[in-house]
Structure 1
Amino acid sequence: MSEAIKAKLPEQKRIEKLTTINRNWFLEFGEWLKTRTSRRGKPYSPETISQMRNVVLNRLSNFGKTNANEIPIESFESFFNQERRLTTRNNKVNHIIAFYTFLSEEKKVDLPFEVTELNRHIRKKEELTNDLEGAAKALTIEEIILIRNHLINDPRRLFVFEMVYQYGLNLGELSQCVEQNYDFNTGIFKIKRNRKLEEFHVNARISNLINENRFILKPIAKTGSQDRFKTLGVILQEKGLMNKTVRWKDIEKTRERNFFRCPGCEKLYENTPDNWALIQHEIDEHKTKWIVCRSTCAVTGV
């Protein structure tokens, strides 16, 4: 199999999972774009067409068996709110407008809304919502449980969430979490963090997730991990289970609240009982009990 075919394979698989109607519309949309011009009167470049197709494919993929002409306009807000950069957000809106213009004008499809209604999602800099640019908001315990429960059948996104939440990894570090850097026997990753090679032992939750779904350690681009992360809250929003997006800084804020530093080894652990133990030193005449991490410092549990 050639490298070119391999590069296209993921997109082909996603296209195959679309409904027959969506698949046909999507493929025809790509051909239609080649005959159109931008607002500047110039033909769309292959790169622009690729970007437009990718946005539309992402949108259609989110709705499974629902055809494009059955997607309610109310659901677009959370999709557009994934983007924190104004230009990226507005480009995404324009790409979706182009697709629905194609359906309305070229395919004569009856839509549940006017295409012009999508224009209200175009944002000016001063109009960006607090949800995009506001202060970090820590996830509640209930929201963490909700994410874990509803991603149980989506191991790739669950893995990204757990690695960011449990270990504070950034995109570059996430992209290093692949088979060649992981020891399945010990549960230890070896990756570069802050320009140094670092080892860290994943907890039982993540270890089990990896062992049951080894494919999640297949190499992926930074943008792939970013897309999986950005859609965490969106998926739950569209199911009516969460009313906000999940941002990187929200997870960082959550870690600040939910993780304690062990006084012994100075490593961070989540504030759940399975991570901590009480110890008592023999030389302590007052028999003081200290809280330390169970994995490293709990030499004598009490």
Structure 2
Amino acid sequence: MNIYFFSPQHVRPFDFRFLMSVLKVKKIFSFIPPQSLDKEIVTTLDSLETKYCPSPSKQVDFYKSCVFSICSKIAKVNRANNSLQYEDMNLYEESVNFSPKNNILKTDDENILILAFCETGMSSTGIIWTPQFHFDSIHKGSTLRDISREISNFSCNLLKKRLGHSKYNNRICFFKLDEYLMRGFYYNATNNKWIEYWSLNNKGRRNPFMKFISLLLYKTYPEVFTISQNAGKTVFDKPYPTSEALKLYKNFKKEAENRQEEYEKDDDNNDYPIDGFLEAYGDALSEEEYDNYIQEQ
């Protein structure tokens, strides 16, 4: 089973129902209220089993209810002798935690989508971070809490507590895409880490997950998601990531590269900051050496 964390920022609203179909999504939990979504997306959500978060102040309760709903199907509750016992329904035997593509192609599992706005940040030195689906105003210490990590970690821990084993760590694929729908990550529960995922084509070439989805959309709905020939190559007429998202992502990467260059330049020029150099070696310098060093700065 796949549990997707998905942001609608760069989805064509008309395409949303087709995306839900090829992703095999049957249930949706939306942290985004309907009034903040395009009408076509809301229409699709209304046709599926969708639950909305009542308000930003209820987001913690809502994320917990998402987890309980996910786990209730796997660990069935039985009452015996005035106590609760949990029965393992042994679901998702053909599913793996590290490949959403495998789970789409090789299983008929009913997948779940967590709809929330996403933002990818970068450090001052140009390191691009894993995309975050933030709660609106909830912090853990000084760190923003991430919906995708909270739901993934809580689900795995709750199943282990109820069933006494961790086999679903290897069966459920918690998978998130950045806001550009360019980079994808699956959750490794053992190490509590997100690992970048690439879909491999027939030639072993790495492609973004959404390029595989573009192909799946074409194969499933060829009358809607058409293809063309351009310079002898087959191209999707309505690709994912979209051309707009791809342009923004390239600009984002360029900004990261610029920050890295600036950081490396500053690092090269400041191997011996004046205060640090003089503090370390000032007493050993002659007056002439001291004057020469100051003039060179």
With structure 2 as the length reference, what TM-score do the two structures score? 0.23
Structure holding more helix per residue: 1
Higher-Rg member (1/2): 2
Structure holding more strand per residue: 2
